[in-house]
Amino acid sequence: MTPFQNPTIYIGGLRIDEPITAATNLLFVGICLIAFLNTKEQKQFIGPNLYRWFFLAIGLSAFIAAFIGHGFLYYFGFKAKIYGWEANVLGVAFAQTAAIYHTKPSIKQSLFKPLLILNYIQIACAIILTYTIFSFLVVEIHAAMSLLFIVCVLEGIHYKKTKSELSKYMLIGVGVTILAVLVHLFKLALSVWFNHLDLSHIVLCGSMYYFYKGVKLYSTKQSINHDNTSSAQKS
């Protein structure tokens, strides 16, 4: 299984490089957009609402990658990749900040503010280093550190204490994301028309589904609890 780059195709006079890679990126964008738009009720909860913005920013990163990073890279140039990379850093930043706020009841209150400050410092460093070093490796390291050592650890602690549905599905989502990274790392390709990038994008669609499911179930549960509380108060 050799991870050949998708052959270039032409639609009329329009040249499109890596068409399947760009298309699977756009599929991921669609799922992110649906997840963002279909969880509007989360605006009242700071943690889950930040996860909503994670959906949107990561979707923006994939949208930029589809056109600038793959389909029309020959036109925009390699340096234009920075826009997608920075959007990715921003998306992951929303996720790690969301995890801190969502799990606040399960961590020591004396640790909350220092953890939040360190979180913002780490995000600022990732943004600056991505731009100055100009390497996707910085983006990957930032994502790994944030998802594994912030989201997973905090949501894991919260799930152990509360059995939160959001925490459970965030952990599953990160697990599926790791599978996508392994596909990319070991370059598992089915053919020249479906390489390791294409397959990893499909796996990432699965991870985003689990992230969305966790946020959506949290919304539903909170709404039910809110309605029950309101009914009890009226009684």
Structural domain harbouring 179: 9-220
70, part of any domain: yes
Domain count, the chain: 1
Q: Is residue 225 part of a domain?
A: no
- Residue 3 dihedral angles phi and psi, to the nearest 5°: -80, 65
Residues 6+ apart with CB under 8 A from 172: 210, 214
Pick the closest to residue 147 from 114, 121, 181, 124 (CA basis): 181
Express each pLDDT in 74-105 by its tens digit.
Answer: 999 999 999 999 999 999 999 999 999 999 99
Other C-beta atoms lying within 10 Å of the C-beta of residue 229: 10
Predicted pLDDT at 209: 98
Position 86 scores a pLDDT of 97
Residue 222's pLDDT is 58
CATH number at residue 200: 1.20.1070
Q: Within the chain, which residues score under 50 in pLDDT?
A: 1, 223-235
> How far is 125 from 138, CA to CA, in rounded Å?
10
Q: Does residue 227 sit within a domain?
A: no
pLDDT per residue over 197-229, tens digit each?
Answer: 999 999 999 999 999 999 999 865 654 444 343
Instruction: Kindly state whether residue 190 falls inside one of the protein's structural domains.
Output: yes
Q: Is residue 94 part of a domain?
A: yes
The confidence score (pLDDT) of residue 220 equals: 58
Q: Which residues pair with 191 in a beta bridge?
A: 194
3 state SS of 15: strand
Q: Beta partners for 9?
A: 16
Q: Is residue 161 part of a domain?
A: yes
- At 221 the pLDDT is 60
pLDDT (0 to 100) of residue 227: 36
93 within some domain: yes
Please report whether residue 235 resides in a domain: no
